[in-house]
Structure 1
Amino acid sequence: MFRKLNIFAFFICFCELVKGECDVVTKKQWGGLEPTHVQYLPRPVDLVIIQHTATPMCTTDKACKNRVKNIQDYHMDTLNWWDIGSSFYVGGNGKVYEGAGWLHVGAHTYGYNKRSIGISFIGNYETDVPTAQQLNAVKALLGCGVENGHLTSNYHVIGHKQLLATLSPGRNLWAEIRTWPEWMDDVSSIKN
Structure 2
Amino acid sequence: MEQSVNIVSRLQWGAADAKQKETMKGSPRRVVIHHTALQNCKGLGGCRDLVVSIQRMHMSERQFDDIGYNFLVGGDGTVFEGRGWGVVGAHTKGHNNDSLGIAFMGNFNNDTPSKEALSSVKQLLLSGVSQDFLHPQFVLFGHRDLGTTACPGENLYAALPQLRSTK
Q: TM-score range by the shorter chain?
A: over 0.9
1:72 maps to 2:55: yes
Bigger helix share: 1
Distance in 1 separating the partners of 2:100 and 2:20:
18
CA shift at 1:93, angstroms? Answer: 2.2
Percent of counterpart pairs with the same letter? 37
CA shift at 1:23, angstroms? Answer: 1.9
Distance in 2 separating the partners of 1:35 and 1:181:
31
Mapped contact 2:5–2:120 kept (Cα < 8 A):
no
Per-residue CA deviations over 1:131-175 (Å, capped at 9, x if unaligned) read: 111011000000000000011111111100011111101110011
Q: Secondary structure at the match of 2:97?
A: helix
Mapped contact 1:22–1:145 kept (Cα < 8 A):
no
Moved over 4 A (4+): none
Q: Determine the structure 2 residue equivalent to 1:51.
A: 34
Q: Determine the structure 1 residue equivalent to 2:99.
A: 116
Q: Determine the structure 1 residue equivalent to 2:119.
A: 136
Which amino acid counterpart does residue 80 of structure 2 have in structure 1?
A: Y
More divergent stretch after superposition (159-168 vs 76-85): 76-85
Q: Secondary structure at the match of 2:138?
A: strand
CA shift at 1:61, angstroms? Answer: 2.3
1:81 maps to 2:64: yes
Q: Determine the structure 2 residue equivalent to 1:105.
A: 88
CA shift at 1:45, angstroms? Answer: 1.1
Provide the alpha-carbon RMSD of the alignment. 1.5
Q: Determine the structure 1 residue equivalent to 2:21.
A: 38
Q: Secondary structure at the match of 2:69?
A: coil
TM-score (norm 1): 0.81
Which amino acid counterpart does residue 24 of structure 2 have in structure 1?
A: L
Per-residue CA deviations over 1:71-118 (Å, capped at 9, x if unaligned) read: 001011222210000110001121110111112111000000111000
Which amino acid counterpart does residue 46 of structure 1 have in structure 2?
A: R
Q: Determine the structure 2 residue equivalent to 1:6.
A: none
Which amino acid counterpart does residue 6 of structure 2 have in structure 1?
A: D
**Bigger CA radius of gyration:** 1
Long gaps (5+) in structure 1: 1-20, 184-192
RCO (CA 8 Å, sep 6+): is it higher in 1 or 2?
A: 2
| Cα 1:41/1:182, change in 2 over 3 Å | farther
Mapped contact 2:29–2:135 kept (Cα < 8 A):
yes
Q: Determine the structure 1 residue equivalent to 2:143.
A: 160
1:95 maps to 2:78: yes
| Cα 1:181/1:121, change in 2 over 3 Å | closer
